[in-house]
Structure 1
Amino acid sequence: MAPPRSGNTSRKPNKKESSKKKPSSSSSQAQPRRTTSKTDPNHHHHHAAHQNHELNISTTIPLTLQQLLLNVFKTALLTNGHNYLYNREETKQNDDDDAAAATTTEATGDPAEQQQQEQLDIKSLIQTIKTHLYNRDFDSAFTDANEDLLRAYALRWSSSRALGYAGIFRALLKEVIKPVSKDDDAAAAAAAASTKNVVCIGGGAGAEIVALAAAWRDFLDGAELPSSSASEEGQIADAVKAVSLDDGKEEEEKEKQLTSTSTSATATPTYPGLSVTAVDIADWSKVVERLSTAIRSPTVTGSKSHPAPLLPSSGDEENKKKTPGFNVQFEKIDVLSAGEKELQGLFSQQGAESCSTVLVTLMFTLNELFSTSMAKATGFLLRMTDLLRPGTVLLVVDSPGSYSTLKLGKGGDGEVRERQYPMKFLLDHTLLSVAEGKWERLLSQDSRWWRRDAARLRYDVGEGAGLEDMRFQVHVYRRVGE
């Protein structure tokens, strides 16, 4: 979830504009308008025959990892300050300072009251956000909002979105990140030194960042080097034969050979690092910083199956050797008015072979871009097309039934004539017709649900900030060579 791309609120709003600007909720409180659709949730687009059915986005990450994801949001955003995010071992070195601080606390007020003051007044902040959205004051809700308001927004809406995004990202990581056998020393070294970049347009509110971190954790946890069983059996047979025929060798040498062969047959593949660039028109830098820190913090509550941190610290040299890196950066950019060099730096990473963009996401953002300016949004997609390399995947998720209005000028009666276009039509027309031959569609679904496990997931961050299910349309494209 992310704020609107433009701070211009003078445009007359459409009655069926994207629910991105007005997040939906299952509560009984007065809510901003929702976007609905008559599309059957199980209905697939009529072009499904041309799609790659191997792309399965129905799976999700383990429940304990979902809980760790939620705990990252809670730890990062609910409590004021940053000290609670750092390693407990570092905290232990400052016992004297802690004792002094405790004495000061006793002298200056009620500890319970101070603890309450350390956390966001989530109920009040969320109500303020809803009021701004109801009044269509998007500048106050996002562009001009203070850090507390943005944190409350991310706590309330980004956490639920992240749960739904994680399974989609998990499937796409398998498409865009390929393992390299450690047996190929040169290729393994090149992979370890490289980084694959994911650009999240409208990703400032953090849902994409934390979802990608969780998906990356699950992806690496389940990584296995594909190898034929026949090849493994042959290697093991050769090893057994070598040991049985050479009785003169020391037992230690026999064990070493068997161990080496077994390790080779089940070698862990080498993966590149993953870099996430969150792009937004509003300044979400503080929220992104908090979430990035919490992702690597061992103080976040975890479980036996998925202990914290969500991902190892990038500064831990020992972990660097074992786990590919995960880096996050934030760019405050209005993509509709960005210059050519700005977009080139965003997508092409200055042409560096060691860092290439493999995935671009537009999560509940594209319909906002079309609604702000259909011409500029179309131009942005075409400029992006020219900058992306073949093989790059584009993921678009939005509200079902989203559409935008194009003004055609005034008629004979002086009334402004308008025509409404479904977002999916505009997207397909731009990528598959205007940019013909440059994209192939891998998946297109008009409406599907992601439903949380309400009975087992826990997310106590305050009144009015509960989790909710997510209904969405999803479209996946891959850049092809011309």
Structure 2
Amino acid sequence: MPPRPSTKKPNSNPLKKKGPENKFQRQQQPQQHSKEEETPFDNPTNTIPLSLQQLLLNVFQSALVPNTSTSQDGKQDASQRDAIEDEGQLDVKPLIQTIKSHLYNRDFDSAFTDANEELLRAYALRWSASRTLGYAGVFKAVLGILSGDKERRGAGGQIVCIGGGAGAEIVALAGVWRDIVALPTDDMNGEEGEGEGEGRMELKVTAVDIADWSGVIRRLDGAIRSSKVSGSKRHPAPLLPDGKRDKFSVTFQKADVLSLPEGELKSLYGQGTVMVTLMFTLNELFSTSMAKATAFLLRTTDVVEPGTLLLVVDSPGSYSSLSLGKSEEKVERKYPMKFLLDHTLLSVAEGKWEKVLSQDSRWWRRDAARLRYEVGEGAGLEDMRFQVHLYKRL
């Protein structure tokens, strides 16, 4: 469900540490950055140029409701309507109302698993587009770390997005990959870059979800490669530039990661996985089954290679419940998702993960006056508040 707003001030930890944390280090309070020490995570809104944000929104609009494609000035552009072949109109408002009703009743099967493609498209329009812009700032910092890793330079890699069927991770990664790897001259300050990212990293993005998002992902994958999507002089379409499209690939796998057999989990991660993401997904996994979610994290620990990053983004203050005791005397206790995550990776799997970053509350705020996103009533952009945690496999 969408993040809930809060007035609490965000906290931040240092981006890097010299070595693995021990139990005493984990008990220390987060250190505050000075302005000179700010990391890219401290300013997720400002790291992505507005023209690139608009292009990402245009990808969603062109892919999922192509008959409403707009130009940069917000006017309907008839030449863009055929960016992605459409099978019919999408009546967004009632679909979003249906989704909200399912989510309110916590009927996730009706909202996702058993939903038809129209319902899933409406969800992606309403929630994934905003999240894409918020994710992009986080991914830019993380992908910058990966593309700057001398040992990985030129080797490429796979990013596995658990719960990534709705497409936010895919489009955000495509935009950031283009901005800092394929076309590093698209500098956020409008200055010409050095071209160090040219051809550095081939990226395969694998989205895994329990629901069948294949139709939505097919549309988005087509839109990020389409020159018919509306762009700007600074960030023209296609999102994936000509001559480099084959270096960024997208696949989808329908699977329940909590019950995935060991062999299939190994096959999913394979060799060359550089990052695993859980974006607004981990707390739902813990809520479904704390034991199975914990086991999934430990199995992931055993499978991924040293150096692999684990990125977790979720609603701030997320809690999961655990019932203790016999059936007649069960006591329900709530645990913060962050506590469960740290306990699993840093205590149960002690010595196998390093916490690179942990922030309990961050904001991505939209530029409502300048961003255009007209896809139907009830599907506008919204600010996003989130917690973010980054770990590195030792």
TM-superposition CA deviations, 1:14-43 (whole Å, max 9, x none): xxxxxx3xx35xxxxxxxxx5x768x3223
| 8 Å CA contact 2:63, 2:84 repeated in 1 | no
Residue in structure 2 matched with residue 228 of structure 1 by the alignment: none
Deviation for aligned residue 1:195? 2.8
Report whether the alignment pairs 1:56 with 2:24. Answer: no
Q: Which has the higher helix share?
A: 1
CA contact (8 A) 2:84 2:219 kept: no
Say if 2:147 and 2:197, in contact at 8 Å, map to a contact too: no
Name the counterpart of 1:157. Answer: 127
| TM-score, reference length from structure 2 | 0.83
Task: Determine the structure 2 residue equivalent to 1:372.
Answer: 288
TM-score by length of 1: 0.69
In 2: Cα distance, 1:392 partner to 1:401 partner: 26
1:215 and 1:63 map into 2 onto residues whose CA distance is 13
Q: Separation in 1 of the partners of 2:266 and 2:179?
A: 31
Whether 1:308 aligns to 2:292 is no
Counterpart in the other structure of 1:475: 389
After TM superposition, list the pairs within 5 Å mapping 1:53-202 onto structure 2: 55-57=39-41, 58=43, 59-79=46-66, 84-85=82-83, 118-178=88-148, 194-202=155-163
**Number of the residue aligned with 2:215:** 286
The question of 1:388 aligning with 2:349 is answered no
CA, structure 1 residues 432+223, in 2 after alignment: closer, same or farther (shift >3 Å)? farther
DSSP-derived class of the 1:440 partner:
strand
Distance 2:387 2:99 in 1: 25
Shift of 1:135: 2.2
Are residues 372 and 179 of structure 1, via their aligned partners in 2, closer, same or farther at CA, if it must alter by over 3 Å? Answer: closer
> Which residue, out of 348, 358, 374, partners 1:460?
374
Could you tell me which runs of 5 or more consecutive residues in structure 2 were left unpaired when the two chains were aligned: 14-27, 68-79, 187-193
Q: Is the CA contact (8 Å cut-off) linking 1:299 and 1:308 kept in structure 2?
A: yes
Q: Which amino acid aligns with 1:401?
A: G
- Structure 2 CA distance for aligned equivalents of residues 151 and 60 of structure 1: 28
2:39 and 2:269 map into 1 onto residues whose CA distance is: 24
Instruction: Give the equivalent residue in structure 2 for 1:436.
Output: 350
Q: Does 1:416 align with 2:330?
A: yes
Does residue 407 of structure 1 match 2:323? Answer: yes
How far 1:268 moved relative to its partner? 6.6
The aligned residue for residue 106 of structure 1 is: none
Give the 3 Å change call, closer, same or farther, for CA 122–425 of structure 1 in structure 2.
Answer: same
d(CA) in 1 for partners of 2:39 and 2:171?
22
**Structure showing greater relative contact order (alpha-carbon pairs closer than 8 Å, 6 or more residues apart):** 1
Contact 1:55 1:443 in 2 (8 A): no
Task: Give the CA deviation at 1:84.
Answer: 2.0
**What SS does the aligned partner of 2:310 have?**
strand
Task: Give 1:267 shift.
Answer: 7.2
Q: Determine the C-alpha separation between the residues in 2 that align with 1:268 and 1:477.
A: 24
**C-alpha deviation, 1:379, in angstroms:** 0.4
Letter of the structure 2 residue corresponding to residue 465 of structure 1: A
**Secondary structure of 2:257's match?**
coil
Cα distance in 2 for residues equivalent to 1:306 and 1:213: 13
Structure-1 separation of matches of 2:169 and 2:374: 21
Q: 1:64 to 1:388 in 2, by over 3 A?
A: same
2:10 to 42, 54, 77: 42
Q: 2:256 aligns with which of 334, 341, 346?
A: 334
- The Cα of 1:448 is off from its aligned counterpart by 1.3
1:424 shift after superposition: 0.3
3-state SS in 1 of match to 2:325: strand
User: Does structure 1 retain, via aligned residues, the 8 Å contact 2:184–2:198?
Assistant: no
Structure 1 counterpart of 2:365, one-letter code: R
In the TM superposition, what is the alpha-carbon distance from 1:50 to its structure 2 partner? Answer: 11
Look up the equivalent residue of 1:62 and give its one-letter code: P
- The Cα offsets for residues 271-318 of structure 1, whole Å up to 9 and x where unpaired, read as 1211100000000000000000000000000001111000036xxxxx
Relative to structure 1, is the Cα distance of residues 454 and 386 closer, same or farther in structure 2, using a 3 angstrom cutoff?
A: same
C-alpha RMSD of matched pairs (Å): 2.8
> Distance between the aligned counterparts of 2:263 and 2:119, measured in 1?
32
SS at match of 1:361: strand
Change (3 A) 1:374 1:50: farther
Q: Work out the CA distance in 1 between the residues paired with 2:349 and 2:196.
A: 42
Query: Which letter maps to 2:372?
Result: R
> Quick one: distance in 1 between partners of 2:293 and 2:12?
26
Q: Based on CA coordinates, which of the two structures has the bigger radius of gyration?
A: 1
> Identical aligned pairs, as a percentage?
64
Structure 1 residues 475 and 369 mapped into 2: Cα distance closer, same or farther (>3 Å)?
Answer: same
Unaligned 5+ segments in structure 1 are 1-19, 25-33, 88-114, 181-186, 225-264, 314-318
1:328 aligned partner, one-letter code: V
